[in-house]
Amino acid sequence: MDRDTPPNTSARSPRRRRARRAWPVAAVLGLAAAAVVVPAQGAAATPGPGSYVALGDSYVAGQALDHLTGAYPECLQSVANYPRTAAWRAGLIANDQSCSGATIPDLFAAKGAIPAQTDALSASTQVVTLSIGGNDLGFSAILRSCLAASADGPLWSGEKSCREKYTVGGVDTLSAKAAGVVAPAVGEAVTRIRAKAPNARVVVVGYPTLMPDAAHTPAGGCFSPLTSSKPALPFATTDLDYFHGVQSTLDTRTQAAVRAAGAEYVSLLADTAEHSVCSTTPYIDGITLSGFVLSPTSMHPNLAGLGYQGRAVGAVLKAPRDFQGVTGALVSLGGTSADLQIHVPLATLHTTPDVAAEVNGSYVANVNGEHGWYVWFENREDTRVYHVTVTVKPGDTVRLRTATGAVQVLTLTPKA
């Protein structure tokens, strides 16, 4: 099986052992020299300065809050945006390619004088973050079309609510577009990004909560009319939960598409539920006017929101590799034989650290990324399972171990 195998297919490789070494297993496990595994060809090293590339739209760029930076002023990159904060927290240096207004096609094609964002990627890139999709859904146009005259409606365009405006033939067209068009397109973008940066850890970051769900909506809503002096919230109360539902659909469907494409996804919805635009401690600014148009900061993260994004993404990038979601299982085959399994989420398949299996301290197998030393593997719905048959007697200790010293002890379970 190669890395282009569709993640939802189930297959077995020929019964063979494939050796790929990423860290000296014998040194970690205290084994004989014969068990030592040499460094893997192409194995990812600890990311160094300049190896982190940030891609995306205005929610990455930061809409020029605090101070403007970057090679292209029209991209509105902020010195306080999450690539810079996250990079500082993770000990990296950000190569920030994000640009306000960016859509998925802008990742791969120049837009005027602004080059394609992915031109910055190469085989030496080791970390990529991406936030994209809102403009492909039509974020700004939707906001403008859903401005309401009062908390009870109607919209300025005449409809009773935004839900009514975008429901056609009983179908919520915004949620349908999020699920059927935008999310798959993000997944396809991830596949192309991974081809341009084959050794990189790719992390897609979702959007923070914009509008509250019903549980976090204040009694009476949070409507305020448009003025030129302060941020306003000119949205009908019934539309707040509707907007939240559309965003939730985009978040969950994008997460599934990203995982299927072999990358990580970081959802910010749950952690920011209490900091929507209606909150007393918002991470998102309301709407302000600049003349007769919406200002760039309307419905975008404020400085508190940028700070949260930087902390959240920085924590992900800085997190110890450890098992990265890898788990083990030991299934009896009868007698003293057992099927030792190493389960690797497809979302982290190509960035998984070296995870070694041992019986009573003796090395028997390992996986590193999509390679390793094993007998055969199979692809399940969202997991690749590596198998090796081992002999296990009562009292034996079977465990997985990583180079960082993390350990999982496995318990023998009956054959299903």
Question: Hey, which residues are catalytic here?
Answer: 58, 300
Q: Which tokens go with 64?
A: 């020029």
The residues near 220 (Cβ < 8 Å, ≥ 6 apart) are 151, 237
* 3-state SS string for the chain: CCCCCCCCCCCCCCCCCCCCCCCCHHHHHCCCHHHCCCCCCCCCCCCCCCCEEEEECHHHHCCCCCCEECCCHHHCEECCCHHHHHHHHHCCCEEECCCCCCCHHHHCCCECCECCHHHHCCCCCCEEEEECCHHHHCHHHHHHHCCECCCCCCECCCCCCHHHHHEECCEEHHHHHHHHHHHHHHHHHHHHHHHHCCCCEEEEECCCCCCCCHHHCCCCCCCECCCCCCCEECCCHHHHHHHHHHHHHHHHHHHHHHHHCCCEEECCCHHHHHHCCCCCCCCECCECEECCEECCCCCCECHHHHHHHHHHHHHHHHCCCCCCCCEEEEEEEECCEEEEEEEEEHHHHHHCCCEEEEECCEEEEEEECCEEECCEEEECCCEEEEEEEEECCCCCCEEEEECCCCEEEECEECCC
Phi, psi of 322 (to 5 degrees): 35, -130
Amino acid found at 300: H
